[in-house]
């Protein structure tokens, strides 16, 4: 698989997709989707679509006019992408944000918005890392787009308790409020807390804050972790390192966001192509590529 080019641009008859965002230069998504396409024999041409901050809609519309079939959306356009779609999956509605668009024709109902971040995270934790969420106590840090995208699917796993903690408590409260009915439906106790007051001994800690990007410290104390807990940062590469080092120093199992990245991509690919790729060999290859280089770390 090492010989697969980063994109299959220009492949004759290939359907076009892209990751749309700003910045997108360092996105690993074209690489991941090229590997999926090669593995499944799908004619997919997946590139990067750099969108000016004030012209996301126009850039996307132009891409569709060129015959594109779908795209992934990254920062800072996930909320705008959600609003542009005619139809939304229930998990996108909970997140109020989309990381995946499928450009279905008007006659088929129009553009479909999905959010595959949460199911990607859940698959990485429960399948790749082999750590169950059901019945466990889970702490999710951050109340921005990253956390909004994963909260609903985490609740679906039925943890015994889920605490959402954020520097700005009101943002955590608003996100919790939006998910409260979903939590009740799944028998999950869901709380919003301040970072200084998260509680103790969680089985799973997920960092969805941007603290490490700004060189900030891990925003909670070591008491938040149970011995041998799973501590996962949604970032990967150098940006995740301070959190992973901290987690290991506490005796936790540390995990970065690379598995989540590959799993959310697989879910998008499945939505577009109706074929599910095998993520294990792609994640293994990406791991060697990422650990052997020093990429920046977009989520």
Residues paired with residue 118 on neighbouring β-strands, in sequence order: none
Q: Which residue has the tokens 């005619």?
A: 86
The residue among 211 and 232 lying less far from ligand ATR, judged by its C-beta, is: 211
| Active site annotation includes 78 | yes
Closest distance of CB 104 from ligand ATR, Å:
26
- Residue 107: other Cβ atoms inside 10 A: 6
The residue among 7 and 72 lying less far from ligand ATR, judged by its C-beta, is: 72
CB burial string 244-275: b at 16+ within 10 A, e below: bebbeebebebbbbbbbbbbbbbbbbebbbee
Angle value at C-alpha 53, between 52 and 57, nearest 5 degrees: 75
The residue among 115 and 209 lying less far from ligand ATR, judged by its C-beta, is: 209
Closest distance of CB 156 from ligand ATR, Å:
20
Distance (Å, rounded) from C-alpha 237 to C-alpha 240?
6
Interface contacts to ligand ATR, rule CB under 6 A: 75, 142-146, 166-168, 171, 209-211, 214, 216, 219, 299
The residue among 119 and 148 lying less far from ligand ATR, judged by its C-beta, is: 148
Give 180: exposed, middle or buried? Use CB within 10 Å, 0-12, 13-18, 19+: middle
Q: Who contacts 220 (Cβ-Cβ below 8 Å, separation ≥6)?
A: 139, 141, 165, 195, 198, 205
Closest distance of CB 4 from ligand ATR, Å:
29
Q: Determine which one of 57, 78, 171, 226 is catalytic.
A: 78
The residue among 42 and 147 lying less far from ligand ATR, judged by its C-beta, is: 147
Closest distance of CB 23 from ligand ATR, Å:
13
Closest distance of CB 52 from ligand ATR, Å:
19
Closest distance of CB 20 from ligand ATR, Å:
15
Distance (Å, rounded) from C-alpha 274 to C-alpha 123?
18
Distance (Å, rounded) from C-alpha 41 to C-alpha 163?
42
DSSP letter at 239? Answer: G
Closest CA to 213 of 142, 127, 293, 117: 142
CA atoms within 13 A on the CB side of 125: 27
The residue among 14 and 75 lying less far from ligand ATR, judged by its C-beta, is: 75
Residues involved in catalysis: 78
């Amino acid at each position: 698989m090492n010989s697969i080019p980063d994109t299959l641009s220009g492949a004759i008859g290939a359907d076009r997709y892209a990751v749309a965002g700003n910045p997108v230069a360092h996105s690993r998504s074209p690489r991941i989707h090229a590997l999926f396409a090669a593995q499944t024999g799908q004619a997919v041409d997946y590139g990067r679509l750099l969108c000016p901050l004030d012209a996301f809609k126009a850039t996307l519309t132009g891409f569709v006019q060129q015959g594109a079939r779908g795209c992934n959306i990254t920062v800072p356009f996930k909320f705008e992408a959600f609003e542009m779609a005619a139809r939304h999956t229930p998990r996108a509605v909970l997140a109020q944000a989309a990381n995946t668009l499928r450009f279905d024709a008007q006659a088929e109902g129009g553009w479909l918005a999905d959010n595959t971040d949460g199911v990607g995270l859940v698959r990485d934790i429960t399948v790749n890392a082999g750590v169950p969420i059901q019945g466990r106590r889970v702490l999710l840090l951050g109340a921005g787009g990253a956390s909004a995208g994963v909260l609903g699917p985490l609740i679906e796993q039925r943890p015994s308790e889920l605490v959402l903690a954020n520097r700005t408590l009101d943002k955590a409260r608003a996100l919790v409020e939006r998910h409260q009915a979903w939590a009740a439906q799944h028998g999950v106790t869901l709380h919003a807390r301040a970072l200084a007051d998260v509680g103790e001994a969680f089985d799973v800690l997920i960092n969805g804050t941007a603290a490490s990007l700004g060189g900030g410290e891990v925003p909670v104390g070591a008491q938040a972790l149970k011995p041998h807990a799973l501590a996962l940062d949604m970032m990967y590469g150098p940006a995740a390192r301070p959190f992973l080092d901290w987690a290991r120093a506490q005796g936790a199992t540390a995990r970065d966001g690379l598995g989540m990245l590959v799993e959310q991509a697989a879910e998008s690919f499945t939505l577009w192509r109706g074929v599910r790729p095998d993520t294990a060999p792609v994640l293994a290859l990406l791991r060697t590529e990422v650990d052997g280089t020093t990429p920046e770390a977009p989520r």
